[in-house]
Amino acid sequence: MKAVVYEKYGSPDVLEFRDIDKPVPKDNEILVKIHATTINRTDCGLRKAEPFIARFFTGLIRPKNKVLGSEFSGVIEAIGRDINRFQTGDNVFGHSGDKFGTHAEYTCLTENDPVVLKPQNMTYEEAASVCDGATLAWTYLSRADIQKGYKVLVNGASGSIGSAAVQLAKYCGAEVTGVCSTANVEMVKALGADRVIDYTKDDFTKDARKYEVVFDAVGKSSFSRCKNIIKSGGIYFSTELGFMAQNPFLDILTSKIGNKRVMFPLPKYKKEDVLFFKKLIEEGHLKAVIDRSYPLDDIVEAYRYVETGHKKGNVVITLQ
């Protein structure tokens, strides 16, 4: 099968197209023919081995797992004899977790992995663009136990994580303020944001409003900068470790002292979350945001675009 392989860390130029062995499903696995996948920040970070600490998990000198990609949608081509929840021909979508491997024509997963039947009201490209951003957003927002009327600010509201966070916070009943650039203001409003701050014109950290939750979905602010806009008892989330792993440290520190919390939960890709996202999609509460779509043959160009840092929502790779 065709796959995109990387044998060393570096720029998008380290990616190579190769024919590798097509996986054979074990008794407890399904074989998915991938129709669409995505490129996200995790893929870029692993390919570059940034931050350096990632090498202790992915391979100190060279990558252990040579095929990137985690989100996918496609069709089940074969099943193992112990599979009960799926059958050949099912349209599915989900996330491969730490197995990665979706920048290829096929992948194998167990039926307990975060893979479920694809929503009928979504294309393959749309379905492939949901799970990573929504999972990361939900990992954070669910910890805040958002109540109706909470004020939530999402910095980076036009990105993959941020666009999901806006929609999920609205679903929870929050009053949402999104922060983005001028070009994305109308898109963020269309996702349900009650208010949008254009960061090219205004500094959101000096906002007159106070929030129960400030969620930096792009990791470009800090707790110290945002502290004044967080209510007493409020929470600050960031998707980035911060300098010298600052945010995990502050998670521990602010749980002991002060009246404003930093929380840094680690994401877990779970089947029940994908089922939850499917329900929201079918009910019209969650939709995919796609910036650009590239065929697999143009994946190097797609990586370069993602790394400009200006993508809206998701960049999709199509295989069929």
Q: What's the pLDDT tens digit per position in 196-217?
A: 999 999 999 999 999 999 999 9
Whether 279 maps to a domain, the answer reads no
CATH number, domain of 28, equals: 3.90.180.10
Same domain? For 72 and 168 the reply is no
Residue 283 lies in a domain: no
The DSSP letter of residue 168 is: H
- pLDDT at position 249, please? 85
Same domain flag for 292 and 211: no
Decide if 50 is inside a domain.
Answer: yes
Beta bridge partners of 215: 154, 237
Tell me, yes or no, whether 66 and 139 share the same domain: no
298 and 196 housed in the same domain: no
Q: What is the mean pLDDT of residues 262-277?
A: 95
Q: Are residues 192 and 302 in the same domain?
A: no
- What's the confidence (pLDDT) of residue 243? 58
Higher-confidence residue of 298 and 266: namely 298
Domain that holds residue 306: 2-130+288-318
Of the three residues 225, 248, 263, the one that is the final residue of a domain is 263
The answer to whether residues 123 and 205 belong to one domain is no
CB 218 within 8 A of CB 157: no
Residues 122 and 140 in one domain: no
Residues 248 and 157 in one domain: yes
Residue 244 confidence (pLDDT) above 60: no
Q: What is the pLDDT of residues 11-43, one digit of tens each?
A: 999 999 999 999 999 999 999 999 999 999 899
Q: Are 96 and 170 members of one domain?
A: no
Element (H, E) at 269: none
In a domain, 44, yes or no: yes
Q: Please, which residues bridge with residue 5 across strands?
A: 16
Q: Name the band, by pLDDT with cuts 50, 70 and 90, for residue 248.
A: confident
Domain count, the chain: 2
CATH number, domain of 136, equals 3.40.50.720
- pLDDT, tens digit (0-9, with 9 covering 90-100), for 82-135: 999 999 999 999 999 989 999 999 999 999 999 999 999 999 999 999 999 999
Same domain, 89 and 153: no
pLDDT at position 57 is: 78
Residues 12 and 30 grouped into a single domain: yes
Residue 280, in any domain of the structure: no
pLDDT of residue 172: 97
Residue 97: name the closest of 271, 265, 238, 237 by CA. 271
Distances (CA, A) of 43 to 19, 67, 182, 201, 302: 20, 10, 27, 31, 12
Query: What are the distances in angstroms from CA 238 to CA 26, 32, 136, 235, 246?
Result: 39, 33, 11, 10, 10
Say if residue 310's pLDDT is above 90: no
pLDDT of residue 247: 85
Q: Is the pLDDT of residue 54 over 80?
A: no
Flag whether 271 is in a domain: no
In a domain, 106, yes or no: yes
The reply to whether 113 and 155 lie within a common domain is: no
Helix (H, G, I), strand (E, B) or coil at 234: strand
